[in-house]
Chain A
Amino acid sequence: MTALTHAELGGFIADRVEIGVFAVDADFKVTLWNRFMATHSRHSAADVLGHNLFEVFPDLPRPWLERKVRHVQALRNYAFTSWTQRPYLFRFDHNRPITGGVDAMRQNCTFLPVKNEAGEVVQVCVTVQDVTDTAIAHEELAASMAEVEREKAEQRKLIGELAQAQNQVLQSEKLASIGQLAAGVAHEINNPIGFVNSNLGTLASYVDELMVVLDAYTGTHDQLPEDLKAAIDARIKGVDLDYLREDLVNLVTESRDGLDRVKNIVQDLKDFSRMGESEAAWADLHHCLDSTLNVVANEIKYKAEVVKQYGTLPEIECVASQLNQVFMNLVVNAAQAIAEHGTITITTGTEGEQVFVAVRDTGAGIPPDVLKRIFDPFYTTKPVGTGTGLGLSVSYSIIERHGGRIVVDSKLGEGTEFKIWLPLRYPAAKPTAG
């Protein structure tokens, strides 16, 4: 048994190592082709040695490889390729004929300059390392990372939805208590209004009777004895009896009108705040709009003139108190958008199977970046304390629950229009709801 020389050992290892090793000279003539290369390429060393590399392997990326080798020669330095950018140099079968996972062996290559005694690069040696397993593991990891990211995004979305739902609960609870308060106050006001109204009725008839009596007395005035007449004239002096008689009747009539208005307001408040009511019922949207406009009349009367362009609307099945909320939001927002004085136009009508209500203002308009977010919960552009940032998001969800949609169209400096479409029927409750 003879010991191997150092060169023999080196040659043996270079040939048998489980890494592809080959070398080419300046003309790409193959000068070394180890067993790994022979096995995987199915071209034996005898087939390849002395031949031009590109003639034996026409599929190689020739311009790229030539440039790479030229760099190694010029710089007398290493160069590398990584499977992450270039999956393989040679298309070899991978080591997973059964389990699969990739189309071909993934390779990391190193180009090393082979120098002569003078330090000149005479050949370039290339090692081809099989990194298929690493590549597959890496790709699996990347896939699961992507999956985790996707799940995270989904969770963020769910959390957002949850927060929105919670906002709505808060808002509707708030509105419910405001509604209860309003209904309570309305009820309390109704009682005194009731007796004042009935008293005024009685007062009106008393006044009529008194007038008749007074007329009778006035008729006999001239027939009275002089001293009595003088005494009465002294009393009458300074009193414009004719005006008093006329105005007394007016005062009573006006007071009764005033009371009627209070009664209407109370009725509107009650209509508006039917908070216990969440069942859909058939309602006239024009009636809803009018009662809402009455409720908010004070807030808008100095800002805008309200123009009603009502079309013909059938009754629709809806939760009127909720729609009132929406209308109130839109009208109040419209008024707030108007800086000095403007017009709020409310248009209604039907389109196909749906009815629509549009609220248009001649206000400042909404900038595009704000427009994207106006239906987001808690988004507000109003000063701290004036807006909750919930109005439009609640409106949005109410309309959504009605199976309708709400869209906004705004031009800066010209104004904004919110348009709501509603179906005639309230959508049937989902069996899973609640």
Chain B
Amino acid sequence: MSTALFSEDQRDALQELTNIGMGQAGASVAAVLGEFVQLSVPRILVLKPNLIPPALERIVGPEKVTAVRQGFHGDLRGEAVVVYGVAHCRELADLMGYDEALDEATERELLLDVSNVLVGACLGGLAEQINAEMGFSAPSLMATEVEVASLLDVERMDSPCALFVEVNFSLEKRSFACHLVMLLPEDQILVLRDAIDRFLASL
């Protein structure tokens, strides 16, 4: 699928803006988690809905995953999905400073919390770069321990295409890793494009 909705310049700018946003996010997440966070350079794709599950599978690999979704709204409207490999999911408690074994509800709360932190930091970082006001709805559990391919119901997606921004997190000292995917519907892609244009014009 082409990224024809963006010109080369716009795409580069978006990549750069996201990258700066992520850098700031990394710093604040590190402050919260007390560990240095490594973030991949964001990868940006415009995809038809049916290509989103394969794209997710490519990022995560064949393992089973648990995923959290969180909506964001305001100047930009879309959804963020944080995908955890099942094994990494169990490292969360340790990461967040829980010593004791956790019951299921606490473990899930933790999962939602960490997702909220990552989404808030990353999208907040991006929003700040393009001067967008953004709010967040409460995160919710999409699915636990399922195949990546079954995470998203392609049939239910209305938008003919979506902007797919992928960031991979890992921690310097641990094996923990997760993947954040920001999904914007088509009309929001245009909003984002205008915001980028304004940003470029202001340079």
Contact = CB atoms under 8 A, between A and B. Distances in A.
B121 A78 contact: no
A204 interface: no
B191 to A, nearest CB: 21
Interface in A60-94: 67-68, 70-71, 74-82, 84-86
Contacts of A75: 28-29, 32, 117, 120-121, 124
B138 interface: yes
B164 to A, nearest CB: 23
Contacts of B36: none
Interface in B15-37: 28-29, 31-32
A333 interface: no
Contact of B109 (A77, A86, A108): A86
B32 A77 contact: no
B120 A78 contact: yes
A137 B75 CA distance: 34
Provide the main secondary structure of the chain B interface. helix
A77 B121 contact: yes
B31 A74 contact: yes
B136 A78 contact: yes
A77 B105 contact: no
A354 interface: no
Residue from A68, A70, A77 whose CB has the most chain B CB atoms within 10 Å: A77
A124 to B, nearest CB: 14
A71 B96 CA distance: 11
Interface in A307-343: none
Contacts of B117: 71, 75, 77, 79
Given A79-B113, A80-B139, A74 B106 contact: no
A110 interface: yes
Residue from A76, A80, A86 whose CB has the most chain B CB atoms within 10 Å: A80
Contacts of B124: 75-77
Contacts of B38: none
B106 A85 contact: yes
Given A68-B113, A77-B120, A77-B121, 15 more contacts: A70-B32, A71-B117, A74-B31, A75-B117, A75-B120, A75-B124, A77-B136, A78-B116, A78-B135, A78-B136, A80-B116, A80-B138, A80-B139, A82-B138, A82-B140
Interface of B: 28-29, 31-32, 96-97, 105-106, 108-109, 112-113, 116-117, 120-121, 124, 135-136, 138-140
